Each structure stands twice: as structure tokens, then as C-alpha cells.
Amino acid sequence: MTTSDRPGMVMCRPTHFGVQYVINPWMQGQIGRVRNDVAVEQWNRLYEIVAGLTTVAIIEGVPAHPDMCFVANAGLVAGDRFMPSVFRFPQREPEAPLFSDWFADSGFEVVTLGGDDTFEGEGDALFESDSASWIWAGYGVRSSLESHQSLTETLNIEVVSLRLIDERFYHLDTCFFPLPGGRVVYYPPAFDELTLAEIRCRVPTDKRIEVSESDALRFACNAVRLDVTLITNHVSKELRRRLAAWGFDVRTTPLDEFMLAGGAAKCLCLIGRQDAGTSGEGRLDSPIRHTEIQLSGHLLDSGLMNRLFDSVTDGGGSFRVDQFTVGQRHDLSSTARVRVTAPTQERLELILNTLQPLGAVTVTEDTDARLESVTQVGVAPQTFYSTTIYPTDVRVSGQWIRATSQRMDAVIVIDDSDGENDPSARCSLIRDLQNGDRVACGVDGVRVRRTATIAGKDEFAFMSAGVSSERRVELAVEELAWEMRRIRAREGRIVFVAGPVVIHTGGGPHLASIINLGYLDVLLTGNALPTHDIEMNLFGTSLGVDLARGVGVHGGHQHHIKAINRIRSAGSIRTAVEQGIVTDGVMYACVKNDVKYVLAGSIRDDGPLPDTLMDLYEAQAAYAEAIDGADMIVMLASMLHAIGTGNMTRAGVRLICVDIHPAVVTKLADRGSVESTGIVTDVGLFLNLLATRLVDEDASDG
């Protein structure tokens, strides 16, 4: 078949069109509502416009296949070849052989992409307009990412994978329209952020039109181009003006009957004359990458499988469960092997990074970690492996080495063998990197070890962390008091992280009595808690409010500043206590009981108190040192300090987070281990209950 024999456009008569099932949000509530006579009339008008501009071949519709008129989903034409669709929904599957037969009879070579990966033809595969040197391809709703790899292999052409995230724009051609001159018209909210970055990287600003929601929902992007004429169901004045400035004449023709089924102009036309550009001599390698992962544990009841699937799709990848063995009893764990696919190696690594904390292990032949040297002080190589809170091993020269100083958001530096010592691995903050440091990059050769549960089993129990406001606070306090007493009995370390709300809510005296009972080893806070605590002691107010009466005191707003000034004149909180200036409260209890405290400064700070560390690096280092060896960290109503501390805490440390805001508690408790408990409540009330419980239990010990 020569180029001129091929039809410019292929259309399928809507004789049997209607909405008979629901496979996209547009069809919802529309079953039986299509007026077929009106649809036929609208189709005829579209046909007349298209046929006035190019040759059109017509496929006759077949009864019982109401969506056949949406012929763009029949497959994809590239030169003499026709690649039939592999439909996602069984309702449309029977169309595939009908279309294949038609294209074969019309002289096309029918080439199947192979495998059972879904691919919905030109609906999700649009050639770059000028040279057809790449295909913009949609995935995420109908077509699979894997089909993009098959497209590259079959056509030897670059495929740019674009992830669709809004089911209303289920095919790429509903929200993306490439035009000559390297231009595109598209609706950004239909895509994920990484896809938008890819589009914006390939297409400069002056060559992109981002359409409004109103245009998008009337399928303005679902347009047919024939030379400089664009045919669509709708175009706003503004979009028409912008397209005219690019030299295009837009012709609209109503297609609202087809929109009841979620289709418009482009869906009704398949490009029949499409020369697929060759991409040079050699075979192109698809950027799509796969890897096999394995995980085990209580995968179903813990919700871990769902978390895994969500993490893969949220990261722009896809998955296929190759094997799943379900634990036969509640105490037995399940095992899954899952194939993860991502559009690029970089995105695959990002996804794997999010799967590792869930306990997923890559099933690959053991390879050494890729190490890259630091070439700029305080800057990591771009593809560095970013750490989690979990124990992590790195493979160096065939040997797995456990990284030390585990924390999240760090990099892993390998200190090589010097002949006498074996190589070692340590977590390092990016800012501490020195030239020549060798940093683990990518995810190969790095594995995260799962946290042992309280039962001591090496299995992973995500979501077993409790976050509940419904749970009675009394019960949570009872359990916490029991644990604290056990830690104190074995001379373990308990760290409290607290914000000024502790004082404002009247929790100060209760925290002081917990300190006096010997439960606290370290207090981590900022400038505000000690300020208001000392204000309370000196003036009987917290931020100018008399807590006993619950009213503001005249001139009280100056109290905290006066308190800070008093301590500044003494030189430090400790000196102020020793000089008898401060006689009660949380800080007094800390000094008297030799409890270490670290005050980290912030931009909000007044004064500050002389003890407050205003150098952020120094403050972070002092916090990190203070939590080293902690058995338990209790975080009380300070988002800033609690999250800051959480980030530098390795897995295995018991965390209790108390805050009135559920989101803060969830963020801290949701660390993928049983060691976290979140308690959503007022911190003053909580401290009252905890102190009372500890005092009573200590008293009953005699």
C-alpha cells in the first residue's frame, strides 16, 4: 500500500452507538439516555467537515458494540502497520478482532504488541506532530506503562510516558493535543507533577497552551487537526484567540450526545495516514525499567499490600503481583513477589525508596552499591540514596555492611578499607559531606532491614502503630505509665520533647512532678517553654494569662520578656535557679534533678534566653546527641521540635506523640513500626493524668 492509498482519516458509523455500560465517569447515570438519531446527525456533520479536508474511510458499526464509533481506540496506525488495542474493559474487548480484520482487509499489516498489557490505541498514543519522532503516550487509567515499552520495541521510536490521574480524562487524547511546531495544548490537572515537569521540559512556555477546566470538560483538547484546521466540540473565545495566534482556524461542531459516553471529535477519528519517523539506525532502548520485589508479613490485615500498591502508583509506576502466598493462620505471615515498573530508572529508584520502609526487598542478583565521590563540599552526588529510619545495609566488595548513626534524610558514606580495617558505612547529613567522600547512589546494593516487632519476630507490622482519639486517653496513659516505670527500673533513658502549650494548658506542674519522680533524662524544647515556665514562676502568668483564673492580666504581655531579661541578667537558667531567682516549675525541676535540657532556637524567639542555641547546626547536633541511646521519646505539643526529633530518630525507639491535631500525631506515629503511639488530646489534661498515675503507682510501691 502506498502512502496515497491510505485514508487520511478512519471513522466508524455510530449506527449502534449508545451508553449501555459504565466504564468511565462520563457514562455514570447515562445508560439508555443517548438519542441515537441525534448522535447520527452530529456524526454526519463531523464527517462532512473531515471529508471536506481529507479522505475518510468508513467502518460500519456492529450491533452490541456501542462504543465502536470511538475508532481512535481501535489501535494505532504507523506507516503500513496497524497495532490493535488491548482493551482494559471486557465490554470493549470484542471490538479488537473486528477492527483488526478491517485494517487487514484494507491492506495494513496488523502487528500485535504482544503480552496482555493494556493499550488503547491512538486514544493513548499521539505522535509528536512535526516529525513523528516520538510518541506522547498516556498511562495510568486505561493503557499500561508496559505497553509503552512494547511500542518502542515494535516501532523503534521514543515513547514519552505521561501519567493520567483524573479518571474523567481517561485517555491522553481527552486532555492533550500535540500541534505542529513542537506545540501542545493540554489540561495540566489531568497529569501528575512529574509528568507536568516532563512536558514543561520538552515544550517551552511559548509553545504550550494550558487550557481552562471549562474548556477541558467540554473536550476542547479532544480535537482533530487537518493542516491548519482544528475540529472540536467546543472552544472558548480565549482558546480560539490563542490558537488563531498560532495560525490555526478552529471549527466547532456539537458532539454532546457522544460526550454522554465520554468522547468527542478526536475519539471519533483515527489518523489513517501516519508516517512513523525512524529514529536513526540503531535499536532504541525504552527508558521503562522493571524490578522484582518481595515482602512478607501480615500483608493483608496490616494493609501493607495496599500501602505498597499506592506507593507504586503514586510514584508513577505500575505493578503486577507475580506470586502471593497467604498465611494460612492469623499468626502466619504472607509473602508476595511483585514486579514494579516505572517510566525511567530514576523514577523506579524513587519508588523503591518509598517501598523499602514498608519492608520490600529487591529480588535481584546481589550487586554492589554504586558509589560516587563528592566533588563539592556539602553537596551529594545527584542520584544519592536517601536514608530512612530503618537499619540499612550496603553491599561493598561483595560484603553487606550495616550503616551506623541511622537516621532519615541522610546519605550513606562508605569509608573504605585502609588495609587494616574493613570498609564501613555511616549515615551523614548532606551538609557534612567532604570532597572525596564516597556516597551510595541509587537503590541497588542497598537494603533496608525490617524492624523486629514487639513479639520479636522479624516481620513487618505496618499500621499497627496506634493513632486514635477514640481510644480512651486514660487507657493510653495507663500503658505509658507502665512502660515508663519499666524503663526507669532498668535505668533506661526517657526523653521528653515539649512545646510551650504544655505551660499554657496548665501542664507545667505535672511535667515538673514527672521530672521530680526521676522519669526524665532529657528535655528537648525551644525558647518558649522555658520562657513561659519561668514567667509562670515569676509572675503567675503564661503569656500574660493567669492560668488559675483563666484571664489575661493587665500588662501581662510584657511578663515573658521581663522573665527572659531576668534570666539574661543572671547568665543562665541554672544560675538563676542557684541564685534563688527561679524557685519552681519545669526548668527548676530540671536543674534540681540534673536533667539535661537542650533549647533549640527558632525564628519566632523573643530574647532569647541565654541557654537557647541560636545556631541551627549546633542545635540539631545537640538534639541528636541527646537522643542517642534513648529508649523512649515522649513528644508533647510541639510540631516543630517533635518532627525535627522524629527525623533524627532511628527505628526501634519507642515514640509517644501527644497533640491536639490528628495530622501531627499521624505524621509522627505513621513511621511503619509498632514503636509509635499517637494520642490525640489536650496536653495539659494528658500530663495531669500521667503525673497522677505515676505519683499513685510510685506511692503504692511504698
Q: Which of 175, 267, 590, 657 is catalytic?
A: 267
Name the residue type at position 63. P
CA distance 70 to 18: 11
**Taking the complex as a whole, how short is the minimal distance between the CB of residue 532 and ligand NAD, in angstroms?**
8
Q: How many residues bind ligand NAD (CB under 6 A)?
A: 24
Are 66 and 14 within 8 A, CB to CB?
Answer: no
Nearer to ligand NAD, 10 or 599 (CB): 599
* Among 14, 263, 499, 585, interactor with ligand NAD by CB under 6 A: 499
In the bound state, the residue with its beta carbon closest to ligand NAD is 526
- Any residues with CB less than 8 A from the CB of 595 and at least 6 apart, and which? 515, 520, 521, 522, 523, 589
**Is 267 one of the annotated active-site residues of the chain?**
yes
* Among 78, 255, 501, 524, interactor with ligand NAD by CB under 6 A: 501
Nearer to ligand NAD, 68 or 642 (CB): 642
Closest Cα partner for 191 from 171, 215, 220, 219?
A: 171
* Among 288, 637, 656, 669, interactor with ligand NAD by CB under 6 A: 637
Quote the crossing angle between the two packed helices 683-701 and 508-516, to the nearest 10°: 30
**Taking the complex as a whole, how short is the minimal distance between the CB of residue 616 and ligand NAD, in angstroms?**
11
Nearer to ligand NAD, 381 or 500 (CB): 500
Reading the block at residue 25, the C-alpha cell is: 465517569
Are 431 and 617 within 8 A, CB to CB?
Answer: yes
* Among 409, 604, 615, 696, interactor with ligand NAD by CB under 6 A: 604
Q: Report if residue 544 touches ligand NAD, rule: CB under 6 A.
A: no
Q: Report if residue 524 touches ligand NAD, rule: CB under 6 A.
A: no
Q: Report if residue 545 touches ligand NAD, rule: CB under 6 A.
A: no
**Is 269 one of the annotated active-site residues of the chain?**
no
3-state secondary structure 529-543: HHHHHHHHHHHCEEC
Closest Cα partner for 137 from 155, 110, 117, 119?
A: 119
Are 359 and 297 within 8 A, CB to CB?
Answer: yes
Part in contact with ligand NAD (CB under 6 A); list of ranges 60-68, 315-323, 335-343, 597-605: 597-605
**Taking the complex as a whole, how short is the minimal distance between the CB of residue 526 and ligand NAD, in angstroms?**
2
Q: Report if residue 641 touches ligand NAD, rule: CB under 6 A.
A: yes
Are 664 and 642 within 8 A, CB to CB?
Answer: yes
Q: Report if residue 104 touches ligand NAD, rule: CB under 6 A.
A: no
Q: Report if residue 528 touches ligand NAD, rule: CB under 6 A.
A: yes
Nearer to ligand NAD, 104 or 640 (CB): 640
* Among 341, 354, 356, 505, interactor with ligand NAD by CB under 6 A: 505
CA distance 571 to 272: 84
- DSSP-based three-state secondary structure for 348: helix
- DSSP-based three-state secondary structure for 235: coil
Binding mask 557-576 for ligand NAD (x = CB under 6 A): ---x----------------
Q: Which of 16, 65, 148, 171 is catalytic?
A: 171
Nearer to ligand NAD, 300 or 570 (CB): 570
Q: Report if residue 605 touches ligand NAD, rule: CB under 6 A.
A: yes
Q: How many CB atoms lie within 10 A of CB 235?
A: 20
Are 569 and 579 within 8 A, CB to CB?
Answer: no
Q: Report if residue 606 touches ligand NAD, rule: CB under 6 A.
A: yes
Q: Report if residue 530 touches ligand NAD, rule: CB under 6 A.
A: no
DSSP state of 254: -
- DSSP-based three-state secondary structure for 511: helix
Q: How far is CA 51 from CA 107, 231, 281, 298, in A?
A: 21, 12, 37, 60
Q: Report if residue 531 touches ligand NAD, rule: CB under 6 A.
A: yes
Q: Which positions touch ligand NAD (CB under 6 A)?
A: 499-501, 505, 526-528, 531, 560, 602, 604-606, 637-641, 659-661, 664, 682-683
The residues assigned a catalytic role are: 171, 267
